[in-house]
């Protein structure tokens, strides 16, 4: 018999598959249980909060997978500018091309809100801590505190990932300008 972590993961993946196939509003707990090859009662054993708890777990799981792939995309970058440029381009493209995310955003965006609100501060802190060593190696304008600059950049990068505003994040030259002149313009020497 599968252990609790494996069964829980199987349910999350089955839920993701069902949402991708039928959309969130047409995915029932019965569909998920059937896809996972378990009973509905067993599903409730792992997710006593039912659909809401299970959908929150799916959002958190996919969110984690996204940031792991993002980290892989920027891992070999050597400068702060490279990290931010690669990261913004990767994140923008991934969000735009993520069929399940786009489906949920167009049909039931509220499914994302509670989970993203819960993990948003932690995400900002993680992004800031990732950027901090790059800032500490960078020539900064006199008086700029690296930790504060890292928090600012994390907030801005996360904001642009979701909404690019006037910038075309598919255009490497625009991303370069955004990063170097707007995001780093007031902090980098």
Please state the domain extents for the chain. Answer: 1-48, 55-183
Per-residue pLDDT band at 171 (split at 50, 70, 90): very high
The pair of three-digit structure tokens given for residue 36, joined into one six-digit string? 């996972």
Q: What's the pLDDT band for 2 if we cut at 50, 70, 90?
A: low
Q: What's the rounded Cα separation, in Å, for the pair 24 and 104?
A: 7
Q: Which of 112, 126, 135 is nearest to 61 (CA)?
A: 112
For 1-48, CATH number?
1.10.10.60
pLDDT of residue 1: 45
Average pLDDT, the chain: 90
DSSP letter for 178, please. I
Full-model pTM: 0.82
When mean pLDDT is compared across 37-46, 57-66, 105-114, the lowest value belongs to 105-114
> What gap in Å lies between CA 46 and CA 36, rounded to an integer?
12
Residue-wise pLDDT for 117-164, tens only, equals 777 788 899 999 999 999 999 999 999 999 999 999 999 998 898 788
CATH class of this structure's domain 55-183 = mainly alpha
Residue 116, pLDDT score = 74
Are 30 and 40 a contacting pair, CB within 8 Å? yes
Average pLDDT over residues 79-95: 94
At residue 43, the 3 state secondary structure works out as: helix
């Amino acid at each position: 018999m599968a252990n609790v972590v494996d069964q829980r993961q199987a349910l999350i993946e089955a839920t993701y598959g069902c949402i991708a196939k039928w959309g969130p509003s047409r995915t029932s707990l019965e569909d998920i249980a059937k896809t996972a090859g378990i009973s509905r009662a067993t599903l409730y054993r792992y997710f006593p909060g039912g659909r809401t708890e299970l959908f929150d777990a799916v959002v958190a799981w996919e969110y984690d997978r996204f940031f792991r792939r993002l980290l892989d995309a920027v891992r070999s970058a050597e400068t702060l500018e490279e990290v931010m440029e690669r990261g913004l381009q990767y994140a923008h493209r991934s969000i735009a091309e993520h069929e399940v995310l786009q489906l949920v955003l167009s049909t039931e965006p509220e499914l994302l809100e509670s989970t993203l609100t819960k993990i948003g501060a932690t995400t900002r802190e993680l992004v800031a801590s990732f950027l901090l060593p790059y800032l500490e190696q960078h020539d900064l304008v006199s008086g700029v505190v690296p930790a504060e600059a890292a928090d600012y950049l994390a907030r801005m990068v996360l904001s642009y990932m979701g909404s690019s505003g006037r910038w075309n994040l598919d255009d490497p030259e625009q991303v370069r300008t955004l990063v170097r002149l707007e995001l780093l313009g007031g902090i980098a020497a």
